[in-house]
Structure 1
Amino acid sequence: MNEQQAGRLEDALDAGPAACGWAEDQRWTLARVTVLIDRLFQVSYTLRGTSYLLHRLGWSPQVPPAPGGRTGRGGHRHLDQGDLAERGKTARDQEAWICFEDEAGQSLRPPKARTWSRRGCTPVITVTGKGSGRVSIAGLLCLRPGHRTRLIYRMRRYRGRRGEKGFREADHARLLDAAHQQLGGPIVLIWDNLMTHRDAPMRRLIDSRPWPAVFYLPSYAPELNPAEGVCSHLKRSLGNLAPATLDQLAALIRTRLRRMQRRSSLQDAFFTHAGLVIARACDEPWPFKFCRGCLKSCPSRGWSAGWDGVRC
């Protein structure tokens, strides 16, 4: 590539991905730059060749700073002892689905993501300043031996109007009813200690239904919840996003969630990341186990097979 072509390429890169046909987000990746070079000069580059070229032009990958440290579970006495919901109804006895629930929200201001930019220059993402609002998501990641892992979700749009709120008790109840209808069996629900999950209206709604059994995760232990992986994966896929309206943002979120619904292997990976190892080829009647190697009381890096609530 000669100097004239290099200058033309840099002008196109400076114009941004949106000006070059990638209007969904404002992120330069090696794959996109490779396609751009082929469009401009009809020259095919490998990804490694594109990387070498960008470094020669003074560009480098810009990575956003890591988020601050989160409150962990190391000091929790019950977690250190491997004692989680030792009593209660079991999913094995009920032949029930184990459903982990989590919630997330996204505004028109996108999460920061890795992109290529000029070395020493911080990338600037242009976002809309029209109005306000956010999209709230509540999802259930559902597991049962012998069945495909399922992801069930509901969305709400919050436009900042008076009286609008996020997911309330009635919304959670409708999500559980929809999951019960789709899964066709009883549910063992595991979620965090959010006030909406524990207050009197929510308890009344759960008690009025004979099929759910509810367990609560310990405080400050998001890594025990596989549904956290769904929200994290969704946030990463929305990095440097440039939606103009709340409706566009909701459509993009729905598209990404549907992609995850079709990828059962990805959903299994969320369970594995949380320590729930799915042993599909196993002689046990309930073929999966929790594997938490970081717990002090489990030096063998394994939990017992079967599910008694969540018992080590």
Structure 2
Amino acid sequence: MRKLPAAAQEERRRQVIGLRESGLTYDAIAAQVGLTRTGVFDICRRFAEQGQAGLASGPRGPAPGTGRFLQVEQEAQVRALIRRHTPDELGLPFALWSRAAVRELIERHCGVRLAVRTMSTYLARWGFTAQKPLRRAYEQSPKAVRRWLRQDYPAIVAQARGEKGTIFWGDETGSRSDDVRGRSFAPRGRTPVVRPSHKRAGLGLISAVTNKGELRWMVLEGALKAPSLIRFLTRLIQDANGKVFLIWDNLPVHRARAVQDWLTEHPGQIEVFHLPSYSPELNPDEGLNADLKHAVTRKPPARSKPALKPAVISHMRRLAKSPGRIRSYFAHPSFRYAA
């Protein structure tokens, strides 16, 4: 009986009731339908108590929630700890939340030691999946990030709107001739090989983007220094339609005396704001940096600066003509607040 589908089981029960109503005994019915006398009696009793509802098949096994080693309150506490903390913050000898780390957390917090394989059941029940974690600097201040998102940036938007200015997001990046990214197909067991030059050549770039798709950029032959930064800022305010509200990080050159003096001389044309420290995930211009590095490394390896520079310039010119692509950076979950 138990091996039959639910519909077949219900039909067998209706058959038992029909035979019983025709006057057959429990023993005769049991012999005819292939059930025990007790089974036939139980079906008749359920029908007498519940009617047709007593013939329906119900869920099998223990009731949900029974047989667990953790109480509902304990599970809720463990879930909250995993969501809000990393293992090392709780004094556990793990970098990430693995099954072993969760087991040790449960043992320390709840006094219950479970098998590692049992953790898979609990994690699946909680809706937790194994994921590659995002990187956040240890020195970052979550409080400063919240203040930026809830107070500082909305105030900048309101000021820019009131003064009919444009908000630009600025950043610096670099490309290297030995940078290799992505994957390459090859026969199984034969790892592909690339041959970049170990005579490393590098090229710098400074850029600024808006959520309307505007892009300003300048290639740097070496490290970014105050004179180069001032030259870029001069171009930025010349090309802008109205006052520039520039948001960038806390790179030391941004606070150089020469740069500060230049900004003081142009208060009506440009005003700068600094992101919270160690928070590149708040800067949409990081999307351009990733785009550039991905595009350049897809091309044949550049083994010198003269070979690297045209590849960088070509891609940046293409981006300058693609405002939709620039706007797409702001669709990323980390940058959506600035869209």
Partner residue, 1:149: 213
Larger radius of gyration: 2
Partner of 2:293: 235
Q: Would you say the 8 A contact 1:101–1:227 is kept in 2?
A: yes
- Structure 1 position 194 matched with structure 2 position 214: no
| Unmatched 5+ stretches in structure 2 | 1-131
Once the two structures are TM-superposed, the CA of residue 202 in structure 1 deviates from its matched residue by: 1.7
Aligned equivalents of 2:303 and 2:133: distance in 1? 26
What is the TM-score of this pair, normalised by structure 2? Answer: 0.54
2:271 pairs with 190, 209, 213, which one?
A: 213
Structure 1 runs of 4+ aligned residues shifted over 6 Å read none
Residue equivalent to 1:92: 161
Output aligned runs, 1:1-312, within 5 Å: 69-71=135-137, 75-81=141-147, 82-84=150-152, 90-130=159-199, 132-143=200-211, 148-158=212-222, 166-210=223-267, 211-239=269-297, 241-273=300-332, 290=338
Cα distance, 1:69 vs structure 2: 3.4
Residue 101 of structure 1 deviates from its aligned partner by 0.4
Given the two structures, how large is their TM-score scaled by the length of structure 1?
A: 0.59
**Higher RCO (CA-CA < 8 Å; seq separation 6+):** 1
Question: Which residues of structure 1 form unaligned runs of 5+?
Answer: 1-65, 159-165, 278-288, 292-312
> Within 2, Cα distance between the matches of 1:93 and 1:233?
33
- RMSD over aligned CA atoms reads 2.7
Deviation at 1:226, TM superposition (A): 0.7
Q: Name which of structure 1's ranges 166-175 and 233-242 shifts more when overlaid on structure 2.
A: 233-242
Give the % identical residues.
Answer: 24
CA distance in structure 2 between the aligned counterparts of 1:188 and 1:234, rounded to whole angstroms: 24
One-letter code aligned to 2:207: G
Q: Give the length in aligned residue pairs.
A: 203
- Superposed displacement of residue 86, structure 1: 6.7
Query: Helix, strand or coil for the counterpart of 2:152?
Result: coil
Deviation at 1:107, TM superposition (A): 1.7
> What SS does the corresponding residue of 1:110 show, helix, strand or coil?
coil
2:201 counterpart letter in structure 1: G
Deviates more, 1:102-111 or 1:82-91: 82-91
Distance 1:200 1:276 in 2: 30
Contact 2:141 2:277 in 1 (8 A): no
Q: Does the CA-based 8 Å contact 1:180-1:186 persist in structure 2?
A: yes
Q: Higher helix share goes to which structure?
A: 2
Q: How far apart are 1:259 and its partner, in Å?
A: 1.4
